[in-house]
Structure 1
């Protein structure tokens, strides 16, 4: 009886090759695209033919803003007319604060395991945004200590929502003509990054128009209770409309738990019950101090909490705006572009002071952030000198006074200040200095500190360039597949400028904050190289600045330029997949899923403008395969249920699939660029056309150690004369 031969044992190389084939596979010839969340018929009914456009060609930076304001103004007029006809205040049906689950909580999937812990000691010395004690990116979002304690004592967050007229005795959107940074106070929301960004806009009177641009007077009717705001999203200005309900920290008297009401009643038992109830409301539910989230310092002013509410609604809920980068907040509020500066990497501190900080509130706005310290405990000995960890601040002024470089800084909490040199009441202050610097001591969260101390305490600085009317912007969105290797992508951008100009080049991904819960399992880190078309040496590199963009600013001559994309993807298998979130919420949170799903689908539609265009090589191959298909070919084997794609496949074992919608924006001073997408067929990319390694990539030197190959003609081919057959042989090596 013959014995079946033993199958050959797999070698280590066989196992590795099989692993890569399963998880990475061959490079796909088809352009990848992210999934759509909503059913196609639902999306069509809601949007029709009004899908967003992914291409903007050379228009003034103010054009999109003007369109958004005009459209919002028309909506506001219609709402006001309707409310006056029906004698009712405006009630926002799309963001009703009484529905706390909708307004406070983002979409979520099934409970997933937490990310693996990272030892603290391995990261304590890191000072960049990329590494913190938890192994995650820093997101500046601290709340005030008293607010944090309040949150800990009440797991329900805000207690109730009331209209502005019920909270304030004499409410005013603006108490004074010009807003001031002292007006702002952060609340229980962890959005210090946003409040710090807002504070940067209202330092100088000549810049008060920056706040007015966000909430123009024609976009509100305080009596009707309707307010319109505009924010910058993904290269365009968008509007948002809200009613005047705000969250309070204290519940109504009748909704208090028995113990709390008993304490109040016991302390006020001699009062008439009706008087006692009114006193309770005046004590806990009246004025700015009663608000749960952000507020104005003035007890009757309302613009800060209403603006924060509109910002939360624009992103879907209050959870969506917890934690972030001050630089990105400034971009959202101004349409400017932020460059990230790591304090430890500054080459020339004098140059940074002269060219950047002395232009604060002129060409630039500044924010700064501290790192998360290795210990989460309080600072009992005061070694941190009042500077909070993992927190965002605004930079308000920069001056040179008697040979000393000083910065005025704002803590969005409205208190807790620096207590080192030049702090309030320190020995450095004289009557002359107070007069010269126009400063008054007070616990308002505003303080002065030396430039060198600032650079030591703040690990990251955000410099936001503001664009005036003589700047133009061009933009082009597309969709790419990000390879596991993080290599330069086969897709490139090309742009042309016809005049010498200062350019700001921005490579961006979509702002995932607008579709929380639907961001999927991949994070992306963006970078690029700028080349003159046809040249191998690059002009400048753009690095990631925050989560959304990579930025470079450079003066360019007329010509054609290529932007090579280097994008790394990181899979977080503990996060829910998009399809899991859809399945988890389609019944219980239908309205929320429709709202956030629509935001997701419309944003990703920008990257689908070229999906009908097929590369010529792929098109020919598709036609060829179709012709070669044999009619008598056996049918494919049946797919059993166990063999089908497992929707619940573990994230670590799932094949790599990282589609990304990206855009290139080019800002030009007094001229405009034209942009197009260049898709290189992966099979046609050769050593000559493939982007080389960066000059500082360690692998660039390693490749020099690999023996090169030389081209040697064979004897037979040499005799043939002109037609010489070339074969590859190893280059001789020295003995």
Structure 2
């Protein structure tokens, strides 16, 4: 229900606020206190799951990936990773020959994985999750039921109606896999071959994973032998080692895997028990029917029963992301980027301005672009449309314009469903409108012209107009060759709760005119989801006179945003704008580490290493290193202060000893000491006489001091000494009437006691100083001790302590592709508030949707 201004809201306080109010404060003060509590006092991002202290007994890594921005040829960057991959495979083969053993990947050993760390992620639910393996047959047949609905919902992460939350997060953290067995390629296949007649989109069959988005991307490029050969760079099928190269976070990376694969069915003994089978016929029959060939695989498979490239490629892709669950759900354009190193632009089909321009790119034969499609229903209830399953990814195999029998030109697009066939229940999975299999449009003329045959193979044709009408998004990926240079720069920024353009900006310098592709991308999201925007303008350009303004096409696909533009030589500014949304159901990194360090230490090691590596980028500050430096600097200051205080105390103590009046000398020993026996005065009478003399001497001393003070006033430095001397004299004048005469030899004992007491006082003082210093360590550098601490205390009184303060820190990077070897990027941060205020753009500070 919507409320107009002034209408009565529902009862109860909003989430994250407190109903307690201070009646002595004005409304403005209460608002200020709320925001003071809302934001973190020490904003920052965890960049190292494992701090340096954990590596003290370990060898350092081979190389430190941190570094500054540098320009690299796009082809050279790939060649470096491919060379590294070939070297890995060569070394592994040499070791296998030495030990006479097949290769087993120690980092992704699915045979020795009791905690299912190769299958599932780190954060898992406490209750029994969904076992999507139970519906593996539905995945293979393309059934639009069971677990596939959940996994595909994550593949297209948001609907517009009731299922927004479920679709946004899918079943991540709730899905589970239960393959029956694990065996090597030569055990599963009768005649295993990596490829049979090359790579083909018709090879692809989806398995028990929601990675249709990735399979659609593979199908999109499978006909490009040049691209596929660059992905699978090295292998030794006898040793069971395969090397692959992928593009991730702006860098080409390599990985190697062994040839162990998951099977759907368990082994014979596990499935049937120890049955009587003296000749092994039952076991052989079971293995042949349940555990042999591509159909026996649990995850993705090739259509040919002896072809192996797809399941091995899927395993390698899952490895670099951590596990099989990590690749369940995504966007086809991002997958094409990971496979080819290109840049994807998502096109909203309802917003296309010039359809002819898009068609020319789609039908281009020079290999500059590849395309994929996403079908999304207009509401949660729209599951299918004209035979197509919504919330699903599809591949574009071909686009062609042909002349019909009537002389008219027809624009047609060949599309493929990664399922590879219709489902066995409702016949879903292929288009059933115009130009579908069996439709009236397919005359013998068109069958021959397009070399098309009807079949349940997941391949179908549609008109270009129907494609734009039915599919919500088209993903267009530009590929780069050796003519292009790529340069990138990373940094991390605190994201305000308010929206606006950041003070931090990038300066791009172009030396050669031509087409330039600019990409703003982000790293891990975590508890916060970031939406990226940017404005490109000339350096120090006038507000509103920007060259391009970029924002996401939709709010679900947010890994990067990009633009393509023709630029003349010059200097250009990229002004980022990043909005953040917090998912209160997700735990902060520090809580996840604390929770899983004992529950699943090995998975935390794997995920933590990947996390640290992902944040080890040039320009991203190492928070662990900064923390160590800050602690060292604080300790240095603390030690210096402590040393200075001790020196001052020692000087004051020495000065006090010099100013103290020495005690009177002991009376002479002799017969008169015994009083009555010596015939003199009694001891009490003598004591009284001595006391009277002391009082008179004290009075005389005070008079003399007063006269000296009037003639020579003491300086500021001498005040403390004078006061101590006066106090010492007052103590002596106020002594008991009975004089205490020190005994011979007691002076040394008194000095020893005094030194012991001074030592205890020093230790006590040092301990108090350490406690004070420890409290000060919690404060930021330059933070005021007075007003701000009071403000913090006031803010802590209000609000909900169960909600963490706002602490959104985004790791972002800018990549620039240009046919200019001298292109550069510089990170620019404002020097002062005045300079920051000059960074203005022509935009509304905040609208209803962004």
The change in CA–CA distance for 1:128 and 1:578 in structure 2 (over 3 A counts) is closer
Match of 2:401 in 1: 400
Shift of 1:39: 3.0
Q: 2:558 aligns with which of 530, 533, 547?
A: 547
Alpha-carbon distance in 2 for matches of 1:359, 1:465: 12
What are the within-5 Å matches in structure 2 for residues 329-478 of structure 1? Answer: 329-354=335-360, 356-359=361-364, 362-372=367-377, 374-375=379-380, 384-402=385-403, 403-415=409-421, 416-478=429-491
**Structure 1 residue 209 and structure 2 residue 359: aligned?**
no
Shift of 1:13: 2.0
Alpha-carbon distance in 1 for matches of 2:292, 2:168: 32
Shift of 1:673: 1.2
* CA displacement, residues 212-268 of structure 1 (integer Å, 9 cap, x when unaligned): 10002xx1000010000010011111011100000111111111267xx9xxx8xxx
Shift of 1:107: 0.6
**Contact map agreement 2:382 2:390 (CA 8 A) in 1:** no
**Structure 1 residue 234 and structure 2 residue 249: aligned?**
yes
Alpha-carbon distance in 2 for matches of 1:228, 1:346: 40
Match of 1:723 in 2: none
**Contact map agreement 1:473 1:672 (CA 8 A) in 2:** no
SS class of match (2:599): coil
Shift of 1:665: 0.5
Match of 1:196 in 2: 216
Shift of 1:686: 5.4
* CA displacement, residues 527-547 of structure 1 (integer Å, 9 cap, x when unaligned): 100010010221002223632
Alpha-carbon distance in 1 for matches of 2:206, 2:832: 50
Shift of 1:375: 4.7
What are the within-5 Å matches in structure 2 for residues 448-597 of structure 1? Answer: 448-510=461-523, 512=524, 519-536=525-542, 537-544=545-552, 546-597=557-608
**Contact map agreement 1:526 1:549 (CA 8 A) in 2:** yes
What are the within-5 Å matches in structure 2 for residues 77-96 of structure 1? Answer: 77-96=90-109
Match of 1:37 in 2: 49
SS class of match (2:104): coil
Match of 2:182 in 1: 161
The change in CA–CA distance for 1:7 and 1:245 in structure 2 (over 3 A counts) is closer
Match of 1:135 in 2: 164
The change in CA–CA distance for 1:132 and 1:396 in structure 2 (over 3 A counts) is farther
**Structure 1 residue 694 and structure 2 residue 843: aligned?**
yes
Q: Structure 1: which 5+ residue stretches go unaligned? A: 1-5, 115-123, 144-150, 513-518, 615-621, 700-735
Alpha-carbon distance in 2 for matches of 1:43, 1:19: 41
* CA displacement, residues 372-409 of structure 1 (integer Å, 9 cap, x when unaligned): 45355865xxxx22111100001111112232211100
**Structure 1 residue 678 and structure 2 residue 828: aligned?**
yes
Number of aligned positions between the proteins? 628
TM-score (norm 2): 0.68
Shift of 1:659: 1.3
* CA displacement, residues 306-332 of structure 1 (integer Å, 9 cap, x when unaligned): 000000011110010000000000000
What are the within-5 Å matches in structure 2 for residues 226-265 of structure 1? Answer: 226-256=241-271
Q: 2:237 aligns with which of 215, 222, 226?
A: 222
Alpha-carbon distance in 2 for matches of 1:137, 1:565: 30
Higher helix proportion: 2
Alpha-carbon distance in 2 for matches of 1:453, 1:651: 53
* CA displacement, residues 578-622 of structure 1 (integer Å, 9 cap, x when unaligned): 1122122222322221121111112112155566999xxxxxxx9
**Contact map agreement 2:491 2:618 (CA 8 A) in 1:** yes
Match of 2:195 in 1: 174
Match of 1:665 in 2: 815
Alpha-carbon distance in 2 for matches of 1:54, 1:378: 48
The change in CA–CA distance for 1:698 and 1:313 in structure 2 (over 3 A counts) is closer
Q: For the pair shown, which has the larger CA radius of gyration, 1 or 2?
A: 2
**Structure 1 residue 51 and structure 2 residue 64: aligned?**
yes
Match of 2:203 in 1: 183
The change in CA–CA distance for 1:83 and 1:25 in structure 2 (over 3 A counts) is closer
What are the within-5 Å matches in structure 2 for residues 580-619 of structure 1? Answer: 580-606=591-617, 608=619
Alpha-carbon distance in 2 for matches of 1:136, 1:485: 24
More displaced stretch, 329-338 vs 364-373: 364-373
The change in CA–CA distance for 1:507 and 1:686 in structure 2 (over 3 A counts) is closer
More displaced stretch, 650-659 vs 410-419: 650-659
**Contact map agreement 2:159 2:380 (CA 8 A) in 1:** no
Match of 1:76 in 2: 89
The change in CA–CA distance for 1:635 and 1:247 in structure 2 (over 3 A counts) is closer
**Contact map agreement 2:397 2:415 (CA 8 A) in 1:** yes
* CA displacement, residues 340-397 of structure 1 (integer Å, 9 cap, x when unaligned): 111122223233223x212267211001101145355865xxxx22111100001111
Alpha-carbon distance in 2 for matches of 1:133, 1:652: 28
* CA displacement, residues 628-649 of structure 1 (integer Å, 9 cap, x when unaligned): x99999958969x9x9x99xx9
**Contact map agreement 2:398 2:415 (CA 8 A) in 1:** yes
Shift of 1:693: 4.0
Q: Structure 2: which 5+ residue stretches go unaligned? A: 1-20, 130-152, 404-408, 422-428, 627-633, 646-768, 779-792
**Structure 1 residue 326 and structure 2 residue 332: aligned?**
yes
